Structure 1
């Protein structure tokens, strides 16, 4: 409908083009023709007036837009680096805590032999670890009992008796790691003193002390600073006393350097505590330089991650960009001048043939559109040939757009976005109907969701589920699975379809472990925000299923159907809060992969006559 007025205007112009020229001035009864600027000059000036102001305005707009975009990019980069360092530090400390927990199991779990045997087993465990070389076992009163280390490790410098203040902190830690301070070991390398209380029946039975090597973390931070911020010195971590914990210069870390006078802390309002969540991107001064940086705390540790960069370095491209825009404006003005001259000249030639060519193009006559013009031998002939080339390109682009529209229309039938990449890369891989495949199904359900829904506002429940599902999706996709669907407060994930891997069962179990580990972090956030926490019950089963498209011609869903799905759901329904149950079929597919599975007996599943052997993934 919007194209209808165009032919009317063109027709009127054509009609004006057929009018007879006015009689020469001076003839009897004929008015004199007014003299003025030639049409060529008027068209040339008109084109310049239309082109130059928008170009100038566009240039200044680009200047401001690019400046804002660059500033936002720098801040986003700093935030991303801070987040990456936070994740790395938290993972390393969580790994150390898990290592000490396993050592405590070796030392105190029944059935592992006498003390000498337990110490030997614990020593073998320590020798296999990367982050720690030894541990010292303390009695509940803080007196050193023994030190277990790898053979090649020299005798460590460790206290023979713990201070009363440290013992009080360990008793109040509720079984969590307690960090003392950063110091240098005998080799001069920075280490972090860590103590772990071994709690049994609510009482501290013993204490494990060790020193976490910080060299690799320091090098990793230095690499981030050098790669993204131009200097290894620009990423570091401090404790609540503003002393260095992690830095590329390990000597400064070993000296536990005091950075309380650093400019970024002066930019924070008040004497902020790192035990609360703080995120800031301030501008500050450091040694006379204008700096931009980012700070975000790790509240559970009382640490803060800091990145910094001189503003002159961060925005070095801004000045160059300004000159580039000015040069582009000058070139654009020159191009507009030349285009004005050429355009005015071309437009002064007979308009009718050009209108015929443009009308044909408007009618989408893509082939032969320039035939009315190309038979000429002047500039209009060249323009006509250009029209022909443009018509061929438009025809090809139209076919491409149609093909893309068809693909997108097909994709819109799928509810799950996880198979989109596969469909785009190989549309024939997902056929109508289904195919029989071996798949591994994971169900993860929020325990006690009905009671939680009754006690909390719906806005809180929605926010909690959104955050839970977001991280669950990231974990499952990182382990190679796809989200089949969200069923209320339950997640159903699939491994083995539409693409399969030899270790799909192992990936599913690892994803379940990741979910359980991440839930500890999520619960800390939710307790701080809403005063609530949740637990997941997880069930996993492997077996045959039909994977394919289910639905109608207008709306389809890629999913898996079969008894395997029902078994996985029933195994999940038997799991206790925080428990991961795995079927015998999944255990057989995992084999000797290093995943520890504990027999949980035979269970009678609802609707099945034969009992099913179940295994548990221990904490």
Structure 2
């Protein structure tokens, strides 16, 4: 460049200012930006390809995990129901065999996935089949073969899963058996067939919602025969999937008896497919998901076409304009790209002073980007602080109260509001005598385990833990969030807790040689709910005569008894018919008698 080509402002030592990016691109020839644009475009494509592939694999893993949790949860529920039926068959005080069988029949009729249960002797001989009235007599083996008996012996008191077959109504069912133990030995065996229709429907829903087709999620056994599929008829027919491309690519131990996972690309009916599978090793099953590559990467193809089209236009402009000025314009873009990538990795760094001090559009963009990064960093700190506050408060308060405190700090003042609530009191019967006979460490461990499961049951039914009073649990429904069926929820929570106590007592007998009983009282009525205490120390609770009545009902309840007041009974609607009148009671400190009801076992 000769002296005549130097701009007069530069020759006089004056730096040009205020030149727009559009002017620079036009004067310095836009084609200079072609190489960095091409590199940036291809880098964007490569980055998005890797990100999209990982996203697809993550989706597949998530779907496999959802199916695994659903299958395990359903089998755990069946095991719990069979254990409960065993309680009805052998628990003392329930009358003759005919009465017990009638109770079991009523319970079976209320279940959605079981139509019958067959009682077998320890040697495998069939004793009695109990079914719902509307169900035809099922076909069950009169005697269990040695393979099933051996599996039951090895199960150590857990559910034994056998084969999938077509049920009496044509739909697929899963044959399961559950050993009833007494003193460590077999007492009897319960067998039934679990309907697989709901799980098959879940397969179809997941496939249609996330993978584009209902048949893209399924489960097979170690013989590669269908166990779960969106089409139940194919499961009932035990369709063989051993020639499916996803399984043909497997090598090594592929019997699904050990934990394993695999991903594979294969062809299915002329389509390029990608799939993943993971074993349910305890059952010898495998959960599989598949998806056409064209569907999974549809957005990638559109992105490539858009980027290539943009690059083509840039190339035409570059060929017409020339090659000067590229380096002058690429480094601000690279700084912005680097800052953007850092931002995507949650590193809130700026683009640097070399960009922000510019007077053109890139400088404006850099300053705006730095402002955005600072704002995002501030917001993230606020979110982290709120999350930490929620985590800390959740150890002392119920989730609803935590959300109320964190979301509305302005409501942290003394006072409350009048609401209709349902109070729940549960107390350990004979706790003083138990405390005298056991070390304090055992008592604390037992109470912690009891309170943990009680909290889970109460919160699952929509209630909140108001407080723990020694060995007593006080829970409330109707505040801070109310439901139309709060009274029913409280009664259901009491039933759930009483049922769970059978399991807890079994563990405590094995661990410490002790067991406990709970007395539970439930009452519905008006109370004031809000913050009580002082400005420096307060707690969210309910105050009123309703609390006193519920506490007195609990104190009058016998071990294992759930007493419900007439006010709660009146709000149960059709469910109130299940309750048994328990007479009128004279509560301490009240002149009027209170009519009570008992929730039967």
TM-score by length of 1: 0.58
> Hey, what does 1:252 align to over in structure 2?
234
> Hey, what does 1:318 align to over in structure 2?
300
> Hey, what does 1:292 align to over in structure 2?
275
Distance 1:599 1:91, change over 3 A: farther
- Map 1:106-505 onto structure 2 (within 5 A): 106-109=88-91, 115=97, 119=101, 122-150=104-132, 153-185=135-167, 188-240=170-222, 242-259=224-241, 264=246, 270-271=252-253, 278=259, 280=261, 282-285=263-266, 287=268, 289-295=272-278, 297=280, 299=282, 301-324=283-306, 415=393, 418=400, 433-440=415-422, 451=441, 479-482=461-464, 494-505=476-487
> Hey, what does 1:79 align to over in structure 2?
61
Deviations 1:297-317 (A, max 9, x none): 373x45443322233322222
Q: What's the CA shift for 1:193? A: 1.6
Distance 1:521 1:65, change over 3 A: farther
Structure 2 contact 569–597 (Cα < 8 Å) conserved: no
Distance 1:32 1:137, change over 3 A: closer
Structure 2 contact 275–291 (Cα < 8 Å) conserved: yes
| 3-state DSSP of counterpart to 2:479 | coil
Distance 1:123 1:511, change over 3 A: closer
Q: What's the CA shift for 1:497? A: 1.3
| 3-state DSSP of counterpart to 1:282 | strand
Of the structure 1 ranges 583-592 and 499-508, higher mean CA displacement relative to structure 2 is found in 583-592
| 3-state DSSP of counterpart to 2:174 | strand
> Hey, what does 1:340 align to over in structure 2?
none
Distance 1:506 1:423, change over 3 A: same
| Cα distance in 1 for residues equivalent to 2:521 and 2:314 | 63
Structure 2 contact 413–531 (Cα < 8 Å) conserved: yes
Deviations 1:283-306 (A, max 9, x none): 34354844132425373x454433
| Cα distance in 1 for residues equivalent to 2:9 and 2:147 | 110
| 3-state DSSP of counterpart to 1:166 | helix
| Cα distance in 1 for residues equivalent to 2:410 and 2:142 | 69
Distance 1:588 1:187, change over 3 A: closer
| Cα distance in 2 for residues equivalent to 1:565 and 1:495 | 12
Distance 1:554 1:140, change over 3 A: closer
Structure 1 contact 418–483 (Cα < 8 Å) conserved: no
Deviations 1:494-528 (A, max 9, x none): 42212323432432454566689899999xxx9xx
Unaligned runs of at least 5 residues, structure 2: 1-7, 322-377, 432-437
Of the structure 1 ranges 93-102 and 264-273, higher mean CA displacement relative to structure 2 is found in 264-273
Rg bigger for which structure?
Answer: 1
Distance 1:108 1:192, change over 3 A: same
Deviations 1:86-114 (A, max 9, x none): 34334433443444445445544566665
| Cα distance in 2 for residues equivalent to 1:575 and 1:61 | 72
Distance 1:140 1:600, change over 3 A: farther
Structure 1 contact 550–559 (Cα < 8 Å) conserved: yes
Structure 1 contact 196–208 (Cα < 8 Å) conserved: yes
Distance 1:191 1:62, change over 3 A: same
Q: What's the CA shift for 1:228? A: 1.7
Deviations 1:569-612 (A, max 9, x none): 999999999x89777689657757659789999xxx9xx9xxx9
Structure 1 contact 440–586 (Cα < 8 Å) conserved: no
Structure 2 contact 566–597 (Cα < 8 Å) conserved: no
Q: What's the CA shift for 1:68? A: 4.8
Q: What is the aligned-residue RMSD (CA, Å)?
A: 6.6
Distance 1:615 1:175, change over 3 A: farther
- Map 1:497-536 onto structure 2 (within 5 A): 497-511=479-493
Distance 1:587 1:46, change over 3 A: same
- Map 1:88-103 onto structure 2 (within 5 A): 88-103=70-85
Q: What's the CA shift for 1:182? A: 1.1
Distance 1:250 1:33, change over 3 A: closer
Structure 2 contact 275–288 (Cα < 8 Å) conserved: no
